[in-house]
Structure 1
Amino acid sequence: MVKQERAARTRRSLIQAAAEVFAEQGFVPASLGAISKRAGVSNGALHFHFANKNMLAEAVETEAAEAVRRLTEAARARQGNSLQSVVDATHDLMRSLLQDAIVRGGFELAGDMQRRTKSPLRSEWRQWVEDSLRAAQRAGVLAEGVSAAEAARVVVAATVGLEVLGGADPSWLSRQNVTRFWEMLLPRIADRRRLGTLVCAGSRPPAAPSESAPGQSQ
Protein backbone atom coordinates (compact mmCIF):
# COMPACT_ATOMS: atom_id res chain seq x y z
CA MET A 1 0.00 0.00 0.00
CA VAL A 2 2.82 2.40 0.92
CA LYS A 3 4.59 1.64 -2.38
CA GLN A 4 1.37 2.19 -4.31
CA GLU A 5 0.78 5.53 -2.62
CA ARG A 6 4.35 6.59 -3.29
CA ALA A 7 4.06 5.56 -6.94
CA ALA A 8 0.80 7.50 -7.27
CA ARG A 9 2.43 10.61 -5.76
CA THR A 10 5.40 10.28 -8.11
CA ARG A 11 3.14 9.92 -11.13
CA ARG A 12 1.13 12.95 -10.05
CA SER A 13 4.31 14.99 -9.54
CA LEU A 14 5.51 14.04 -13.02
CA ILE A 15 2.23 15.07 -14.66
CA GLN A 16 2.25 18.37 -12.77
CA ALA A 17 5.87 19.05 -13.70
CA ALA A 18 5.26 18.08 -17.33
CA ALA A 19 2.29 20.42 -17.54
CA GLU A 20 4.38 23.30 -16.20
CA VAL A 21 7.26 22.63 -18.60
CA PHE A 22 4.95 22.16 -21.60
CA ALA A 23 3.14 25.41 -20.74
CA GLU A 24 6.43 27.30 -20.49
CA GLN A 25 8.38 25.76 -23.37
CA GLY A 26 5.97 23.92 -25.66
CA PHE A 27 6.02 20.23 -26.48
CA VAL A 28 9.01 19.96 -28.81
CA PRO A 29 11.57 21.98 -26.77
CA ALA A 30 10.55 20.34 -23.48
CA SER A 31 12.94 17.63 -22.39
CA LEU A 32 12.33 14.63 -20.16
CA GLY A 33 15.35 15.70 -18.13
CA ALA A 34 13.78 19.09 -17.40
CA ILE A 35 10.52 17.42 -16.43
CA SER A 36 12.12 14.89 -14.08
CA LYS A 37 14.20 17.64 -12.50
CA ARG A 38 11.10 19.82 -11.99
CA ALA A 39 9.32 16.84 -10.41
CA GLY A 40 12.29 16.07 -8.17
CA VAL A 41 12.60 12.47 -9.37
CA SER A 42 15.20 10.50 -11.32
CA ASN A 43 15.02 9.85 -15.05
CA GLY A 44 14.59 6.18 -14.18
CA ALA A 45 11.52 6.96 -12.10
CA LEU A 46 10.08 8.99 -14.97
CA HIS A 47 10.56 6.14 -17.44
CA PHE A 48 8.99 3.69 -14.99
CA HIS A 49 5.74 5.65 -15.26
CA PHE A 50 5.99 7.07 -18.80
CA ALA A 51 7.88 5.43 -21.65
CA ASN A 52 8.21 8.67 -23.63
CA LYS A 53 7.24 12.32 -23.85
CA ASN A 54 4.12 11.59 -25.88
CA MET A 55 2.71 9.47 -23.07
CA LEU A 56 3.36 12.29 -20.62
CA ALA A 57 1.63 14.77 -22.91
CA GLU A 58 -1.38 12.46 -23.22
CA ALA A 59 -1.60 12.20 -19.42
CA VAL A 60 -1.51 15.99 -19.08
CA GLU A 61 -4.23 16.40 -21.72
CA THR A 62 -6.40 13.74 -20.09
CA GLU A 63 -6.22 15.45 -16.70
CA ALA A 64 -6.79 18.88 -18.25
CA ALA A 65 -9.85 17.58 -20.10
CA GLU A 66 -11.21 16.17 -16.84
CA ALA A 67 -10.70 19.54 -15.13
CA VAL A 68 -12.55 21.37 -17.92
CA ARG A 69 -15.33 18.75 -17.79
CA ARG A 70 -15.74 19.35 -14.07
CA LEU A 71 -16.02 23.11 -14.46
CA THR A 72 -18.56 22.90 -17.29
CA GLU A 73 -20.63 20.35 -15.37
CA ALA A 74 -20.52 22.60 -12.31
CA ALA A 75 -21.67 25.61 -14.35
CA ARG A 76 -24.54 23.59 -15.79
CA ALA A 77 -25.49 22.25 -12.36
CA ARG A 78 -25.74 25.82 -11.03
CA GLN A 79 -27.51 27.40 -14.00
CA GLY A 80 -28.95 24.58 -16.10
CA ASN A 81 -28.65 24.60 -19.89
CA SER A 82 -28.66 28.36 -20.10
CA LEU A 83 -26.77 31.30 -21.49
CA GLN A 84 -25.64 32.19 -17.97
CA SER A 85 -23.98 28.79 -17.64
CA VAL A 86 -21.86 29.62 -20.71
CA VAL A 87 -20.91 33.00 -19.24
CA ASP A 88 -19.96 31.35 -15.94
CA ALA A 89 -17.99 28.57 -17.62
CA THR A 90 -15.90 31.01 -19.65
CA HIS A 91 -14.97 32.82 -16.44
CA ASP A 92 -14.14 29.52 -14.75
CA LEU A 93 -12.05 28.36 -17.71
CA MET A 94 -9.99 31.55 -17.81
CA ARG A 95 -9.47 31.37 -14.06
CA SER A 96 -8.30 27.75 -14.41
CA LEU A 97 -5.84 28.78 -17.11
CA LEU A 98 -4.45 31.36 -14.68
CA GLN A 99 -4.29 29.12 -11.64
CA ASP A 100 -4.02 25.50 -12.80
CA ALA A 101 -0.80 24.47 -14.55
CA ILE A 102 -2.38 21.23 -15.77
CA VAL A 103 -5.17 23.06 -17.60
CA ARG A 104 -2.66 25.59 -18.94
CA GLY A 105 -0.29 22.86 -20.10
CA GLY A 106 -3.12 20.88 -21.64
CA PHE A 107 -4.27 23.79 -23.75
CA GLU A 108 -0.69 24.56 -24.77
CA LEU A 109 -0.41 20.99 -26.05
CA ALA A 110 -3.81 21.25 -27.76
CA GLY A 111 -2.60 24.21 -29.79
CA ASP A 112 0.81 22.76 -30.68
CA MET A 113 0.63 22.01 -34.40
CA GLN A 114 3.97 20.19 -34.34
CA ARG A 115 2.48 17.30 -32.35
CA ARG A 116 0.02 16.38 -35.13
CA THR A 117 -2.19 14.84 -32.46
CA LYS A 118 -5.86 15.64 -32.07
CA SER A 119 -6.58 16.96 -28.59
CA PRO A 120 -9.94 16.49 -26.84
CA LEU A 121 -9.71 19.82 -25.05
CA ARG A 122 -10.80 22.38 -27.60
CA SER A 123 -13.25 20.04 -29.33
CA GLU A 124 -14.99 19.16 -26.04
CA TRP A 125 -15.15 22.82 -25.04
CA ARG A 126 -16.63 23.74 -28.42
CA GLN A 127 -19.21 20.95 -28.20
CA TRP A 128 -20.27 21.97 -24.70
CA VAL A 129 -20.72 25.62 -25.72
CA GLU A 130 -22.73 24.60 -28.80
CA ASP A 131 -24.98 22.27 -26.80
CA SER A 132 -25.58 24.89 -24.12
CA LEU A 133 -26.43 27.63 -26.61
CA ARG A 134 -28.81 25.35 -28.51
CA ALA A 135 -30.60 24.68 -25.23
CA ALA A 136 -30.69 28.43 -24.56
CA GLN A 137 -32.16 28.99 -28.01
CA ARG A 138 -34.89 26.41 -27.41
CA ALA A 139 -35.69 28.16 -24.12
CA GLY A 140 -36.09 31.50 -25.91
CA VAL A 141 -33.06 33.09 -24.26
CA LEU A 142 -31.31 33.97 -27.51
CA ALA A 143 -32.44 36.96 -29.54
CA GLU A 144 -34.69 36.36 -32.52
CA GLY A 145 -32.66 35.57 -35.62
CA VAL A 146 -29.53 34.62 -33.64
CA SER A 147 -28.18 31.19 -34.55
CA ALA A 148 -26.92 29.12 -31.61
CA ALA A 149 -24.25 27.60 -33.87
CA GLU A 150 -22.97 30.99 -35.01
CA ALA A 151 -23.02 32.39 -31.47
CA ALA A 152 -21.06 29.35 -30.32
CA ARG A 153 -18.43 29.97 -32.99
CA VAL A 154 -17.94 33.51 -31.68
CA VAL A 155 -17.69 32.38 -28.05
CA VAL A 156 -15.26 29.56 -28.83
CA ALA A 157 -13.10 31.75 -31.08
CA ALA A 158 -12.91 34.42 -28.38
CA THR A 159 -12.11 32.05 -25.54
CA VAL A 160 -9.46 30.18 -27.52
CA GLY A 161 -8.00 33.54 -28.54
CA LEU A 162 -7.84 34.66 -24.91
CA GLU A 163 -6.23 31.34 -23.99
CA VAL A 164 -3.51 31.74 -26.64
CA LEU A 165 -2.83 35.40 -25.81
CA GLY A 166 -2.85 34.58 -22.10
CA GLY A 167 0.09 32.23 -22.59
CA ALA A 168 2.32 35.26 -23.11
CA ASP A 169 0.40 37.84 -21.08
CA PRO A 170 -1.82 36.54 -18.22
CA SER A 171 -3.76 39.81 -18.08
CA TRP A 172 -5.75 38.57 -21.11
CA LEU A 173 -7.27 35.92 -18.83
CA SER A 174 -8.47 38.34 -16.17
CA ARG A 175 -12.05 38.39 -14.96
CA GLN A 176 -12.23 42.00 -16.12
CA ASN A 177 -11.36 41.07 -19.72
CA VAL A 178 -13.87 38.22 -19.83
CA THR A 179 -16.55 40.49 -18.37
CA ARG A 180 -15.93 43.10 -21.06
CA PHE A 181 -16.22 40.44 -23.74
CA TRP A 182 -19.66 39.45 -22.46
CA GLU A 183 -20.71 43.08 -22.03
CA MET A 184 -20.13 43.51 -25.76
CA LEU A 185 -21.57 40.17 -26.89
CA LEU A 186 -24.66 39.60 -24.74
CA PRO A 187 -26.64 42.61 -26.06
CA ARG A 188 -26.16 41.14 -29.55
CA ILE A 189 -27.18 37.55 -28.85
CA ALA A 190 -29.52 37.60 -25.81
CA ASP A 191 -33.25 38.22 -25.97
CA ARG A 192 -33.75 41.76 -24.68
CA ARG A 193 -36.37 40.56 -22.18
CA ARG A 194 -33.76 38.26 -20.61
CA LEU A 195 -30.77 40.56 -20.86
CA GLY A 196 -31.32 42.15 -17.46
CA THR A 197 -31.15 38.75 -15.76
CA LEU A 198 -27.72 37.88 -17.17
CA VAL A 199 -24.54 38.68 -15.22
CA CYS A 200 -21.59 39.47 -17.48
CA ALA A 201 -19.12 39.16 -14.60
CA GLY A 202 -20.36 35.65 -13.84
CA SER A 203 -22.99 34.63 -11.32
CA ARG A 204 -20.39 33.70 -8.71
CA PRO A 205 -18.19 36.23 -6.91
CA PRO A 206 -14.44 35.90 -7.50
CA ALA A 207 -13.04 33.09 -5.36
CA ALA A 208 -9.89 34.87 -4.23
CA PRO A 209 -7.68 37.88 -5.05
CA SER A 210 -5.25 35.52 -6.82
CA GLU A 211 -7.80 35.29 -9.65
CA SER A 212 -6.63 38.65 -10.93
CA ALA A 213 -3.82 38.73 -13.44
CA PRO A 214 -0.82 40.89 -12.62
CA GLY A 215 -1.64 44.54 -12.92
CA GLN A 216 -5.40 43.92 -13.27
CA SER A 217 -8.11 44.94 -10.86
CA GLN A 218 -11.47 43.25 -10.43
Structure 2
Amino acid sequence: MVKQERALRTRNALLTAAGEVFSREGYRAASLTVISGNVGVSSGALHFHFPTKLDLAAAVEEAAAARLRSIVEHCERHEGPGGSVQLVIDASYQVVERLAQDPVLRAGFELGETMERAGGTGKVCDLWQRWVVSLLRHAQEAGGLRPDVVPDHLASVVVAMTAGLAALGRRDAHWPSRATLTSFWLLMLPQVTAAETPPTCVVHGHDSAAEEL
Protein backbone atom coordinates (compact mmCIF):
# COMPACT_ATOMS: atom_id res chain seq x y z
CA MET A 1 0.00 0.00 0.00
CA VAL A 2 2.82 2.42 0.91
CA LYS A 3 4.56 1.64 -2.37
CA GLN A 4 1.33 2.24 -4.31
CA GLU A 5 0.76 5.56 -2.56
CA ARG A 6 4.32 6.63 -3.31
CA ALA A 7 3.90 5.65 -6.96
CA LEU A 8 0.66 7.64 -7.18
CA ARG A 9 2.31 10.70 -5.65
CA THR A 10 5.18 10.40 -8.11
CA ARG A 11 2.80 10.03 -11.04
CA ASN A 12 0.78 13.09 -9.99
CA ALA A 13 3.95 15.11 -9.45
CA LEU A 14 5.15 14.15 -12.93
CA LEU A 15 1.82 15.25 -14.42
CA THR A 16 2.09 18.63 -12.70
CA ALA A 17 5.70 19.09 -13.79
CA ALA A 18 4.83 18.03 -17.33
CA GLY A 19 1.94 20.48 -17.39
CA GLU A 20 4.27 23.29 -16.39
CA VAL A 21 6.88 22.40 -19.01
CA PHE A 22 4.41 21.66 -21.82
CA SER A 23 2.60 24.93 -21.09
CA ARG A 24 5.80 26.96 -20.96
CA GLU A 25 7.84 25.33 -23.71
CA GLY A 26 5.29 23.60 -25.93
CA TYR A 27 5.18 19.88 -26.71
CA ARG A 28 8.10 19.76 -29.15
CA ALA A 29 10.58 21.68 -26.99
CA ALA A 30 9.55 20.04 -23.72
CA SER A 31 12.34 17.95 -22.23
CA LEU A 32 11.59 14.74 -20.36
CA THR A 33 14.88 15.16 -18.52
CA VAL A 34 13.77 18.57 -17.27
CA ILE A 35 10.38 17.19 -16.26
CA SER A 36 11.84 14.30 -14.27
CA GLY A 37 14.48 16.59 -12.77
CA ASN A 38 11.82 19.03 -11.58
CA VAL A 39 10.22 16.19 -9.64
CA GLY A 40 13.53 14.85 -8.37
CA VAL A 41 13.21 11.42 -9.95
CA SER A 42 15.27 9.61 -12.55
CA SER A 43 14.39 9.37 -16.23
CA GLY A 44 13.83 5.67 -15.63
CA ALA A 45 11.17 6.46 -13.02
CA LEU A 46 9.43 8.76 -15.48
CA HIS A 47 9.47 6.11 -18.20
CA PHE A 48 8.09 3.56 -15.73
CA HIS A 49 4.93 5.67 -15.48
CA PHE A 50 4.92 7.09 -19.02
CA PRO A 51 6.89 5.04 -21.60
CA THR A 52 6.97 7.85 -24.18
CA LYS A 53 6.65 11.60 -24.32
CA LEU A 54 3.37 11.16 -26.19
CA ASP A 55 2.06 8.91 -23.42
CA LEU A 56 2.89 11.63 -20.91
CA ALA A 57 1.16 14.29 -23.00
CA ALA A 58 -1.92 12.08 -23.35
CA ALA A 59 -2.02 11.61 -19.57
CA VAL A 60 -1.76 15.37 -19.03
CA GLU A 61 -4.60 15.91 -21.48
CA GLU A 62 -6.74 13.27 -19.76
CA ALA A 63 -6.07 14.81 -16.34
CA ALA A 64 -6.94 18.25 -17.69
CA ALA A 65 -10.20 16.94 -19.14
CA ALA A 66 -11.11 15.43 -15.76
CA ARG A 67 -10.45 18.77 -14.07
CA LEU A 68 -12.58 20.60 -16.63
CA ARG A 69 -15.42 18.12 -16.10
CA SER A 70 -15.15 18.72 -12.36
CA ILE A 71 -15.46 22.48 -12.88
CA VAL A 72 -18.56 22.32 -15.07
CA GLU A 73 -20.22 19.72 -12.85
CA HIS A 74 -19.61 21.93 -9.82
CA CYS A 75 -21.18 24.89 -11.66
CA GLU A 76 -24.20 22.80 -12.63
CA ARG A 77 -24.72 21.69 -9.02
CA HIS A 78 -24.60 25.29 -7.81
CA GLU A 79 -26.57 26.85 -10.64
CA GLY A 80 -28.34 30.03 -9.56
CA PRO A 81 -30.90 32.24 -11.26
CA GLY A 82 -30.15 33.64 -14.68
CA GLY A 83 -30.50 30.66 -16.98
CA SER A 84 -28.06 28.95 -19.28
CA VAL A 85 -26.17 32.05 -20.38
CA GLN A 86 -25.45 32.90 -16.77
CA LEU A 87 -24.23 29.35 -16.19
CA VAL A 88 -21.78 29.69 -19.10
CA ILE A 89 -20.54 32.99 -17.65
CA ASP A 90 -20.11 31.51 -14.17
CA ALA A 91 -18.26 28.48 -15.53
CA SER A 92 -15.99 30.64 -17.67
CA TYR A 93 -14.81 32.47 -14.56
CA GLN A 94 -14.08 29.19 -12.82
CA VAL A 95 -12.16 27.88 -15.84
CA VAL A 96 -10.10 31.04 -16.23
CA GLU A 97 -9.26 31.10 -12.53
CA ARG A 98 -8.05 27.52 -12.74
CA LEU A 99 -6.07 28.26 -15.89
CA ALA A 100 -4.13 30.87 -13.96
CA GLN A 101 -3.34 28.41 -11.16
CA ASP A 102 -3.27 24.93 -12.71
CA PRO A 103 -0.54 24.09 -15.25
CA VAL A 104 -2.16 20.75 -16.07
CA LEU A 105 -5.43 22.38 -17.15
CA ARG A 106 -3.51 25.07 -19.04
CA ALA A 107 -1.43 22.48 -20.87
CA GLY A 108 -4.54 20.44 -21.63
CA PHE A 109 -6.00 23.29 -23.66
CA GLU A 110 -2.70 23.84 -25.45
CA LEU A 111 -1.96 20.18 -26.26
CA GLY A 112 -5.10 19.73 -28.33
CA GLU A 113 -3.51 20.24 -31.75
CA THR A 114 -0.55 17.99 -30.92
CA MET A 115 -2.80 15.20 -29.65
CA GLU A 116 -5.10 15.45 -32.67
CA ARG A 117 -2.12 15.02 -35.01
CA ALA A 118 -1.08 12.00 -32.96
CA GLY A 119 -4.52 10.41 -33.26
CA GLY A 120 -5.95 11.86 -30.05
CA THR A 121 -9.10 13.89 -29.67
CA GLY A 122 -8.09 17.33 -28.49
CA LYS A 123 -10.56 16.43 -25.78
CA VAL A 124 -10.22 19.42 -23.45
CA CYS A 125 -11.30 22.03 -25.97
CA ASP A 126 -13.84 19.59 -27.41
CA LEU A 127 -15.35 18.95 -24.00
CA TRP A 128 -15.59 22.68 -23.25
CA GLN A 129 -17.04 23.34 -26.72
CA ARG A 130 -19.75 20.68 -26.41
CA TRP A 131 -20.81 21.87 -22.96
CA VAL A 132 -20.99 25.55 -23.96
CA VAL A 133 -22.85 24.70 -27.19
CA SER A 134 -25.46 22.66 -25.34
CA LEU A 135 -26.14 25.46 -22.87
CA LEU A 136 -26.29 28.18 -25.50
CA ARG A 137 -28.68 26.12 -27.63
CA HIS A 138 -30.89 25.79 -24.58
CA ALA A 139 -30.63 29.53 -24.00
CA GLN A 140 -31.66 30.18 -27.59
CA GLU A 141 -34.71 27.92 -27.22
CA ALA A 142 -35.64 29.70 -23.97
CA GLY A 143 -35.41 33.14 -25.57
CA GLY A 144 -32.26 34.17 -23.72
CA LEU A 145 -30.30 35.00 -26.89
CA ARG A 146 -31.14 37.35 -29.73
CA PRO A 147 -32.91 35.54 -32.58
CA ASP A 148 -30.07 36.19 -35.02
CA VAL A 149 -27.39 34.70 -32.73
CA VAL A 150 -26.16 31.22 -33.74
CA PRO A 151 -25.39 29.32 -30.51
CA ASP A 152 -22.64 27.21 -32.09
CA HIS A 153 -20.88 30.33 -33.41
CA LEU A 154 -21.07 32.07 -30.06
CA ALA A 155 -19.75 28.93 -28.35
CA SER A 156 -16.75 28.93 -30.71
CA VAL A 157 -15.97 32.51 -29.69
CA VAL A 158 -16.15 31.57 -25.99
CA VAL A 159 -13.88 28.54 -26.51
CA ALA A 160 -11.40 30.53 -28.62
CA MET A 161 -11.32 33.20 -25.92
CA THR A 162 -10.66 30.60 -23.23
CA ALA A 163 -7.91 28.85 -25.18
CA GLY A 164 -6.39 32.21 -26.08
CA LEU A 165 -6.21 33.26 -22.44
CA ALA A 166 -4.53 29.95 -21.64
CA ALA A 167 -1.89 30.52 -24.32
CA LEU A 168 -1.29 34.16 -23.41
CA GLY A 169 -0.99 33.19 -19.76
CA ARG A 170 2.29 31.44 -20.51
CA ARG A 171 3.93 34.84 -20.88
CA ASP A 172 1.82 37.11 -18.68
CA ALA A 173 -0.34 35.99 -15.76
CA HIS A 174 -2.58 39.03 -16.25
CA TRP A 175 -4.29 37.44 -19.22
CA PRO A 176 -6.09 34.52 -17.52
CA SER A 177 -7.70 36.82 -14.95
CA ARG A 178 -11.17 37.85 -13.89
CA ALA A 179 -10.52 41.41 -15.05
CA THR A 180 -9.70 40.26 -18.59
CA LEU A 181 -12.69 37.94 -18.72
CA THR A 182 -14.99 40.65 -17.40
CA SER A 183 -13.88 42.93 -20.23
CA PHE A 184 -14.80 40.20 -22.71
CA TRP A 185 -18.27 39.63 -21.27
CA LEU A 186 -19.03 43.34 -20.89
CA LEU A 187 -18.32 43.72 -24.60
CA MET A 188 -20.03 40.52 -25.75
CA LEU A 189 -23.23 40.23 -23.73
CA PRO A 190 -25.08 43.31 -25.04
CA GLN A 191 -24.55 42.01 -28.58
CA VAL A 192 -25.97 38.54 -28.05
CA THR A 193 -28.48 38.44 -25.17
CA ALA A 194 -32.17 39.26 -25.32
CA ALA A 195 -32.90 42.56 -23.62
CA GLU A 196 -35.63 41.10 -21.44
CA THR A 197 -33.32 38.53 -19.83
CA PRO A 198 -30.05 40.31 -18.98
CA PRO A 199 -27.43 38.15 -17.26
CA THR A 200 -24.96 39.54 -14.77
CA CYS A 201 -21.23 39.78 -15.07
CA VAL A 202 -18.77 39.71 -12.19
CA VAL A 203 -16.59 42.81 -12.31
CA HIS A 204 -12.83 42.83 -11.61
CA GLY A 205 -12.78 39.70 -9.51
CA HIS A 206 -15.10 40.75 -6.67
CA ASP A 207 -17.58 37.96 -6.03
CA SER A 208 -20.11 40.29 -4.45
CA ALA A 209 -20.03 42.89 -7.20
CA ALA A 210 -22.21 42.40 -10.24
CA GLU A 211 -23.27 44.65 -13.05
CA GLU A 212 -26.54 44.39 -14.90
CA LEU A 213 -26.17 44.34 -18.67
Q: Which bin holds the TM-score, normalised by the shorter protein? A: 0.7 to 0.9
1:161 aligns with 2:178: no
Structure 2 residues without counterparts, runs of 5 or longer: 209-213
1:174 to 174, 177, 180: 177
Q: CA deviation at 1:17?
A: 1.1
1:12 aligns with 2:12: yes
Distance 2:51 2:64 in 1: 20
Corresponding residue number in structure 1 for 2:98: 96
RMSD of aligned C-alpha atoms?
2.2
Distance 2:179 2:78 in 1: 22
| Sequence identity percentage | 44
Q: Which of 62-71 and 115-124 deviates more?
A: 115-124
Q: CA deviation at 1:32?
A: 1.4
Q: CA deviation at 1:205?
A: 4.9
Distance 1:159 1:63 in 2: 18
Aligned length: 204
Q: CA deviation at 1:59?
A: 0.8
Code of the aligned partner of 1:15: L
Distance 2:115 2:55 in 1: 17
Corresponding residue number in structure 1 for 2:109: 107
Structure 1 residues without counterparts, runs of 5 or longer: 208-218
Give the 3 Å change call, closer, same or farther, for CA 114–76 of structure 1 in structure 2.
closer
Distance 1:119 1:113 in 2: 6
Distance 2:110 2:151 in 1: 27
**Tell me, what secondary structure is at the counterpart of 1:200?**
strand
Code of the aligned partner of 1:35: I
Equivalent residues of 1:134, 1:149 under 8 A apart: yes
Corresponding residue number in structure 2 for 1:212: none
Corresponding residue number in structure 2 for 1:87: 89
Distance 1:61 1:126 in 2: 15
Equivalent residues of 1:60, 1:102 under 8 A apart: yes
Equivalent residues of 1:11, 1:49 under 8 A apart: yes
Code of the aligned partner of 1:93: V
